[in-house]
Structure 1
Amino acid sequence: MEKVLVIGAARSGIAVTRLLCKMGYEVYLTDQKEIEQKEQLNALGVHVFDQGHPDALKAISYAFVVKNPGIPYRAAFVHYFVQKQVPIYTEIEIAYRYAKNFSYAAITGTDGKTTVTTLLYEMLKTEKNALVAGNIGTPLSELVLEHDQKDYTVALELSNFQLLGIESFAPDVCVVTNLAPDHLDYMDSLEDYYRSKMKIYENCKSDAWFIRNVDDEEIMKYAQGIPCEVIDFSLTRQDVALYRDEKFAYLKDKVLFKLEDLKIVGGFNCGNAMMAACMAYRMGVSVNSIQKVISEFRGVEHRIEYVDTLKDVRIYNDSKATNTHAACAALSAFDHNVILLCGGKDKHISFEDLKQYDQKIKHCFSFGQTKDHFKDIFTHQTSCETMEEALYQAYNMASAGDVILLSPACSSFDQFKNFEVRGEIFKELVKQLKEKES
């Protein structure tokens, strides 16, 4: 029986340990922290070593090592096996090897991954046995253990950490949404980070698709030697396979959807929707189903999430915008007449970045600890004690065609447990306003 070592007992580590046992390996599992499931894993025959990595584990000969994606290769215990040239994988590779009946649409990139993955999953499940997994929250190994007897189509979000640990993983369609500097605390260089993203297509069969964002200079620089069909995508050009005009999004001159049906806002989200629609089409989803999902999809929860339209005023929940960079991204998605709700815990940061959007802001209603910090940022501003008060004042002011946007630019901890709770309360307040109107 071949021996394997799993480093890291988080959710994905536990799942891949169970899967490796099912595949007939003798499994050693180690973690720096206490492993709560120790007894259950011992009962499966797993050798469990918690609260540290004993040197005795280095003396064993392993067929391969499976590493938690978040643990750097330069970490001393991991680096020992790098130097010994023991193959090191992540749980994605193991799950792929086991679930031969699954097919994959894989998404990576610096931004937009979760939106593309979520929208794609919604499209897939209209006509397929579909699953969503990976960096979006659920380990692929966990789903493979549960669903290994059926054919499934998987919308799979992949971080570059996960991609570094693949060897044979081959999706049927894949995309790198965009590239921007990130994870330099983990990677040796920015070039290494960009190159790691390109591993997503390295094993693709010739009939697979890789969607290449030609608007992104870094992707065009690094996406080389692609072994499958390339579907060039652009938001600005029409001489490519995946493009748009003023009314429609197209794939090879086939209409995918009407742009006006898209509820999620901003050019970047139009691009996310086009990528998801193209991937769904490649996986066999009909255009009718794609269009139905496009018209109903309200976005990833708390990320410029469309909530409702009341008296011709559109309302959006961007509670996840806990800093000015995120709030600027949300404001860039709208043209004008934005009634902004912002504020929260005082982290002693500057809000000067938001000044560039002053012309778009019909009025700012700020709340929480930082309620007065926006007086010098926006021409039209009112301080409120609570988010509820800010919403009600905004709604009373709003006219047809306006947008009410919750994009706090602050963390939530002055008045809420976290940004998710803040967003949920906001949506409930909107629901109550709608009930009063009816």
Structure 2
Amino acid sequence: MKKDFNEFKKFIKDKKVGVVGIGVSNIPLINFLLELGAKVTAFDMKNEEDLGDVAIDFKNKGVKLSLGENYLDNLTGFDVVFKTPSMRIDSEALVRVSKEGAYITSEMEEFVRYCKGKIFGVTGSDGKTTTTTIISKLLIEEGYKTWVGGNIGTPLFSRIEEIEEKDMVVLELSSFQLMTMDLPMEVAVCTNLAPNHLDMHKDMQEYIDAKKNVFKYADESGILVINRENEITYGFRNEFKGEIREFSSNREIKDGAYYKDGVLYLDGKEVCKREDIVIKGMHNVENYLAAFAAVKDDVSIKSMKRVCETFTGVEHRCEFVREIDGVKYYNDSIASSPTRTLAGLRAFERKVILIAGGYDKHIPFAPLAKEGHEFIKELIVMGDTKELIKDAFKKLKEEEGIDITIEEATSLEDAVNIAKRIAKPGDIVTLAPACASFDMFKNFMIRGNKFKEIINNL
């Protein structure tokens, strides 16, 4: 039973509230808390000049600001603290304020606690954004009012009173958002799990444990969708009290979603043929299968088929940019892990010129070399991880005698110019970095947009 939001309104009124992070999701959160009568202090590493109009607006509304290098020193004496997703619960500042008796939470936790609509929580190492989007498209096609949030879409907590019981809510949830989540969701989806974000998590087990929170608190009425072909997610079936729904691209599943001989099936019924799906690649077949299993109580096969035939994909995911002199350029900036890059490479039917490299998340690049070499014509490396990627391919050459030509770039623009120089008519160039963007760009979207801008200016 969902909690009544009026309880939160009474609870938060006149409370001294700290909000850590003045980013995209927290700006509407701060404004919402002000509307509800909270006394808000906002914390951010940026200074007032960097925040610009946002800082001016908040100061005019009576929000106190704690900014700059030592911004968390003032996180003390609060009743409630909303943390930013990437802030670990065991960070010194949060431990201190928690010991003082503060209630520590996040925008996403409070949203799940009070949201009246049916929630589909989607997580995984790869494919979660596309799967989240497909689920939302399926529900919209069936006629439901559908809200999309979490890692994508719009911040939803400030709009919680607009969401009705009959509405559908689809949330893409990262391991950071899930680390402190202890609330049930009606439908949980875990696309797959592989090493990721090991720069933020203590180890792989902590990363897996965070992901488990998407289903851990559900009761017998809950639904969990898992990938039969991923050893880690398949293991979750032993820990879940509710209904398990499996999907597979490799075997027939009687009461699940599966792919066989060029056709996608749900509970033994044909949904569509692989060739009918607009977005290419076996990873997208798997994303569709996960989505079918998640929504089968609410969406007809007819609606599923229509979405397969019309959905053109999500920006920055194997997105075709332009053809120049017979060379096609693709933007797969979302590919911030080796496994996601591999999935994108497999979607092409020929070897490609790959642009890779970026911020180091402490994920090994050996799989990119060992499994990816057969899809790579030439490799262009850039960013903080370029030496690590080169080392993985050097080891491949030493151990297996497989030699991939590697060029080094000093920037994304330099990488594109190298690609243009070496590409021949009929070639494919793809930006699929296998790394986060933070060494050069604020996020993968800015990186992808910059790539498209460079290509369109060639």
Q: TM-score range by the shorter chain?
A: 0.7 to 0.9
Shift in Å, 1:293: 1.4
Q: Which runs of 5+ in 1 are unaligned?
A: 399-403, 430-438
Amino acid at match of 1:11: V
Shift in Å, 1:125: 2.5
Shift in Å, 1:184: 2.9
After superposition, the CA RMSD in angstroms is: 4.4
Amino acid at match of 2:352: L
Assess, with a 3 A threshold, how the Cα gap between structure 1 residues 307 and 94 changes in structure 2: closer, same or farther: same
Residue 237, structure 1, aligned to residue 251, structure 2: yes
User: Deviation per CA, 1:347-400, whole angstroms, max 9, x where unpaired?
Assistant: 9xx999669767667x769899x9xx99x636xxxx996766777x424xx8xx
Determine which of 224, 229, 246 is the counterpart of 2:261. Answer: 246
Residue 266, structure 1, aligned to residue 297, structure 2: no
8 Å CA contact 1:365–1:384 kept in 2: the answer is no
Assess, with a 3 A threshold, how the Cα gap between structure 1 residues 220 and 388 changes in structure 2: closer, same or farther: closer
Shift in Å, 1:191: 1.6
Amino acid at match of 1:317: Y
8 Å CA contact 2:111–2:157 kept in 1: the answer is yes
Determine which of 8, 14, 20 is the counterpart of 2:33. Answer: 20
8 Å CA contact 1:328–1:354 kept in 2: the answer is no
Amino acid at match of 1:40: D
Assess, with a 3 A threshold, how the Cα gap between structure 1 residues 71 and 387 changes in structure 2: closer, same or farther: same
In structure 2, distance between residues paired with 1:408 and 1:194:
24
Residue 130, structure 1, aligned to residue 146, structure 2: yes
In structure 2, distance between residues paired with 1:5 and 1:202:
28
In structure 2, distance between residues paired with 1:195 and 1:409:
26
8 Å CA contact 1:105–1:155 kept in 2: the answer is yes
SS of the counterpart of 2:245? strand
TM-score normalised according to structure 1 size: 0.74
Assess, with a 3 A threshold, how the Cα gap between structure 1 residues 217 and 223 changes in structure 2: closer, same or farther: same
SS of the counterpart of 1:132? strand
Partner of residue 436, structure 1: none
Q: How many percent identity over aligned positions? A: 27
Q: Which runs of 5+ in 2 are unaligned?
A: 1-12, 360-364, 394-402, 406-414, 441-445
In structure 1, distance between residues paired with 2:180 and 2:434:
35
Amino acid at match of 2:155: P
Partner of residue 377, structure 1: 404
8 Å CA contact 2:119–2:186 kept in 1: the answer is yes
8 Å CA contact 2:279–2:312 kept in 1: the answer is yes
In structure 1, distance between residues paired with 2:351 and 2:72:
57
In structure 1, distance between residues paired with 2:239 and 2:343:
33
Shift in Å, 1:229: 1.5
Residue 209, structure 1, aligned to residue 233, structure 2: no
Assess, with a 3 A threshold, how the Cα gap between structure 1 residues 318 and 43 changes in structure 2: closer, same or farther: closer
Partner of residue 9, structure 1: 22
8 Å CA contact 2:332–2:344 kept in 1: the answer is no
8 Å CA contact 2:278–2:312 kept in 1: the answer is yes
TM-score normalised according to structure 2 size: 0.71
Amino acid at match of 1:136: I
What does 1:289-300 correspond to in 2, within 5 Å? 289-300=303-314
8 Å CA contact 1:104–1:153 kept in 2: the answer is yes
Residue 58, structure 1, aligned to residue 82, structure 2: no
Aligned residues: 400
What does 1:146-185 correspond to in 2, within 5 Å? 147-148=162-163, 152-168=167-183, 170-185=184-199
